[in-house]
Structure 1
Amino acid sequence: MTWFEALVLGLVQGLTEFLPISSSAHIRIVSELWFGEDAGASFTAVIQLGTEAAVVIYFAKDIWRLLKAWFRGLVSRAARSDPDYRMAWYVIYGSIPIAVLGVLFKEQIRSGLRNLWITAIVLMVFAAILAVADETGRQARTRLTLKDSWVMGFAQAMALVPGVSRSGGTLTAGLFLGLRREDATRYAFLLAIPSVFGAGIFSIPDVMDRSGPGLQADIPQTIAATVVSFVVGYACVAWLLRYVSKHSYMVFVWYRIALGAVLCALLATGVVSPT
């Protein structure tokens, strides 16, 4: 991997991580179209640490409040009535599905599921599902329940397949459950923190081992891509939260459909190899 390639992929990661358009799909597509090879699931997982660091900083006050409430609740029965204590547990519960499935299907995630035909079809199928959720969701609820955390946690786990979108899957489930866009979006951001940090740290040894196929980044290039994704991702967090308070997700739906259709055309004509 060249420095230019690393910086471009870091920029792509920062721009797409929080939008419901699948950052892993964009990393896969851009690396194949521009650079002729797959950057790999491990590299993608590691540079996502940058965008999640942006979430941690942006939501630092909320995270600190949740952590304090959680620790207080562990030792005080009275503190367990605090909504923040329950929310902290909801983030933990919601993180379990993606952690378990990520370990169980590690090899498939890093190989077969990165086929571009799968990515193209999934982009379009989940665009339609997001559209239905956005149009039919009541968007009346502001508080999550234990059931919500599990449902949205399994929805997040579907993002192990490039094209689903971590935020998109979680947001879609939240809308179907009747949550407001803003509340579903905030929970999606919080829910991503444990899973992305876990996957990123877990993948660092694989990135350091540069003997595998495809684009191989060295440590300085990976760090640079991660820093770029952090800077761009921080701006995108703030923008998306303002956007969803006043707009629907339909612009992202049409974008996903268009991208999936173009990718199908490129694959069908042999311009791009699916693997």
Structure 2
Amino acid sequence: MTMLEIMVLAIVQGLTEFLPISSSAHLILPSQILGWHDQGLAFDVAVHVGTLIAVVQYFRREVSTMAVAWTGSVLKKQHNQDSKLAWWIILGTIPAGLFGLLGKEFIETYLRSGYVIATTTIVFGLLLWFADRMAKQQVTEYQLGWKTVLIIGFAQAVALIPGTSRSGITMTAGLFLGMTRQAAARFSFLLSIPLIFLAGSYLTLKLAVSGEAVDWFSMTVGAVLAYFSALICITFFLKVIERMGMLPFVIYRLCLGVALFVVLS
């Protein structure tokens, strides 16, 4: 890949990992319009590392508090709202992990077409708009129960379908369940930590056994740019979501989906 491709794809990955606008829909455009080649395993590992560091750093206090509380709940049977939230994040990760292991081959074979991505970008964008309009906005992430967590977890599993948007579908589910926008976004971001870690670990293992040559300079640039773009994205989104709501992102998704249909036709 050229340096321009590395910079663009890393920034796009960092931004779209957390905004409810679908990373796969954005990454298909450069290949379709500009003829860019697949970025390769090494680059995928790099951007996963960058986005993981960004979200952990932003929520470092919450992650540290939950880790201590979770350890206490395991070793000393001491439970509080932070240990409960940590358990909910683990529980909410299980459906996506299982679906990823069982359905990855089917998804990559049958659901990675541009038309599927364009359709899901539009459909799940409209669903996000409807959830945002109907949301009661009363529940925080600390008030979730195991049933509601599993619903959000299964929604995250649906995001394995390209074009859905992991953050978009988990926020949609959270809003339907009565969560506030801030709480739905925070829980979505916290829920991304184990999933990004698992995906990055899988890709790292795959890279190790593939024998693919590693361009360390390109990986470093990709990781750094993905880190900064993801950190800026999280900060921006959580600060403006109460004022903006989800409508701007819904409109953007609809325009993107239509653009994909135009490009692919």
* TM-score strictly above 0.5: yes
Quick check: 1:28–1:38 contact (8 Å CA) kept in 2? Answer: no
Q: Residues of 1 paired with 2:35 and 2:104: CA distance?
A: 25
Shift of 1:17: 1.5
Structure 1 match to 2:92: 94
Which residue of 1 is the match for residue 151 of structure 2? 151
- In structure 2, what is the equivalent of residue 256 of structure 1? 253
Corresponding residue for 1:124? Answer: 122
Q: Distance in 1 between matches of 2:10 and 2:207?
A: 15
**Correspondence 1:227 to 2:203:** no
**What letter corresponds to residue 160 of structure 1 in structure 2?**
L
Q: Corresponding residue for 1:202?
A: 202
The match for 1:273 is none
Count residues in correspondence. 262
What percent of counterpart residues are identical?
A: 39
1:27: Cα distance to partner?
1.8
Gaps in structure 1 of 5+ consecutive residues: 269-275
Distance in 2 separating the partners of 1:250 and 1:39: 32
Q: Per the alignment, do residues 30 and 45 of structure 1 end up closer, same or farther by CA in structure 2, a change over 3 Å counting?
A: farther
Contact 2:14–2:229 (Cα < 8 Å) also in 1: yes
Classify the secondary structure of the residue corresponding to 2:82: helix
Tell me what 2:50 maps to. Answer: 50
Is the 2:70–2:82 Cα contact (8 Å) retained in structure 1?
A: yes
Matches within 5 A, 1:32-181: 32-39=32-39, 43-44=43-44, 46-77=46-77, 79-80=78-79, 82-142=80-140, 143-181=143-181
SS class of match (2:111): helix
Q: In the TM superposition, what is the alpha-carbon distance from 1:103 to its structure 2 partner? A: 1.0
Give the Cα–Cα distance (whole angstroms) in 1 for the partners of residues 220 and 167 of structure 2.
24
So what's the TM-score if we normalise by structure 2?
Answer: 0.91
Matched position secondary structure for 1:162: coil
**Is the Cα–Cα contact under 8 Å of residues 22 and 165 in structure 2 kept in the other structure?**
yes
- Does 2:244 match 1:243? no
Deviations 1:44-80 (A, max 9, x none): 4651331121010010010000011111111233x22
* Aligned-partner residue type, residue 32 of structure 1: Q
- 1:266 maps to which residue? 263
For the 8 Å contact 2:41–2:207, the answer to whether it is kept is no
Given residue 7 of structure 2, which amino acid in structure 1 is its aligned partner?
A: L
Task: Name whichever of 86-95 and 239-248 sits farther off.
Answer: 239-248
Q: What is the CA–CA distance in structure 2 between the aligned matches of 1:107 and 1:145, rounded to whole Å?
A: 32
